[in-house]
């Protein structure tokens, strides 16, 4: 049966982006978050991003208005009862995700699918925390969702062919490209990207270069569009740390040990752009390196 309604749990940066692209593709979307303020901020962000797309001619004004009208919000999981698919996009913390599934599953029909946007945690293990592991899959969107084309598709050990085909069809309809990944810690993109970022933090920690020097070197020397420390701030240093911890614990290899300086920044609450301080200070007109 073709999906009509999609639920998204978590109205943060990833959740609002997922809601945006699904609504634009014609799905009825219900965005759920425990915080009404977060939902209001998410809708403002979605409306602003859609307006930007329309002003640049990437979508029509009619498409913009229709997409906004397709998004509903709520603070109770009960509003997701009619969704054919619910995409969980809460914080990268397994305990929090399990709590979501515990509340969510009893409110869904037996035929509904669940997807997780986890960037590193075992899909098989998350699926086992639900009442429908065969109808559970990993759909790892890249940030920012409206801009980035890739979605990693991760099957858990119990994921059925029907669930996988549903996910493939969804990715195609929203105009993204799927890359299939086995269910190993951090999958493909973050298995490669986060150790590079962690190594950049070690390079800073050991005094090999300053924040500015490291980012300039990688932008001009490796032709990266953004330096690794600037990218870490964009991702969120707490997310970077949690992915490195998953890699370190899941693969038992010392090369994945999180840099102590990354841990220190997270302990200080300097998480990057979202807290206005990380490897750069964003409180002024222009970002200033903090080291």
Give yes or no: 47 in active site.
no
Active site residue 61: no
| Beta strand pairing call for 136-141 and 113-116 | parallel
Per-residue CA distances from 10 to 106, 120, 173, 204, 234 (Å)? 18, 17, 22, 33, 18
CA distances from 90 to 97, 137, 151, 163, 173 (A): 7, 15, 17, 21, 23
Among residues 117, 190, 198, 242, the one annotated as catalytic is 190
DSSP 142: -
Of 20, 28, 92, 140, the catalytic one is 140
Closest CA relative to residue 228, chosen from 252, 253, 262? 262
288 pairs with which residues across the strands?
281
Q: Are 246 and 120 in contact (CB under 8 A)?
A: yes
In the three-class reduction of DSSP (H, G, I as helix; E, B as strand; rest coil), residue 140 is classed as strand
Closest to 8 measured CA to CA, from 85, 81, 67: 85
Rounded to whole angstroms, what are the CA distances from 200 to 131, 209, 243?
A: 41, 9, 15
Q: Which among 16, 49, 117, 119 is annotated as catalytic?
A: 119
Element of type H or E holding 6: strand 5-9
Other Cβ atoms within 10 Å of 95 Cβ, number: 7
Residue 217 sits at φ, ψ, to 5 deg, of -60, -45
Q: Can 20 be counted among the known catalytic residues? A: no
112 labelled catalytic: no
Helix axis angle, 189-205 to 211-221, nearest 10°? 140
The catalytic residue positions are 119, 140, 152, 190
């Amino acid at each position: 049966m073709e999906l009509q309604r999609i639920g998204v749990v978590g109205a943060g940066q990833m959740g609002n982006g997922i809601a945006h692209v699904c609504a634009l593709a014609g799905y009825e979307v219900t965005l759920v978050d425990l915080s009404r303020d977060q939902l209001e901020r998410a809708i403002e962000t979605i409306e602003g991003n859609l307006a930007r797309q329309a002003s640049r001619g990437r979508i029509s004004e009619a498409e913009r208005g229709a997409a906004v009208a397709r998004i509903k919000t709520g603070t109770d999981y009960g509003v997701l009862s009619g969704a054919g698919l619910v995409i969980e996009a809460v914080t990268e913390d397994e305990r929090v995700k399990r709590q979501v599934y515990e509340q969510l599953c009893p409110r869904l029909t037996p035929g509904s699918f669940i997807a997780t946007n986890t960037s590193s945690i075992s899909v098989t293990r998350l699926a086992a925390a639900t009442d429908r592991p065969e109808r559970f899959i990993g759909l790892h969107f890249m940030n920012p969702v409206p801009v980035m084309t890739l979605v990693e598709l991760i099957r858990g050990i119990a994921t059925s062919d029907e669930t996988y085909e549903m996910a493939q069809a969804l990715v195609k309809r929203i105009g993204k490209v799927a890359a299939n990944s086995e269910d190993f810690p951090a999958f493909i993109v973050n298995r490669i990207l986060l150790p590079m970022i962690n190594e950049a933090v070690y390079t800073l920690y050991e005094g090999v270069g300053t924040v500015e020097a490291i980012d300039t070197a990688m932008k001009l020397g490796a032709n990266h569009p953004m330096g690794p420390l600037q990218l870490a701030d964009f991702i969120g240093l707490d997310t970077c740390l949690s992915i490195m911890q998953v890699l370190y614990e899941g693969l038992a290899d010392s090369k994945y040990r999180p840099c102590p300086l990354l841990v220190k920044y997270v302990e200080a609450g300097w998480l990057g752009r979202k807290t206005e301080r990380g490897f750069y200070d964003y409180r002024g007109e222009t970002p200033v390196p903090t080291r």
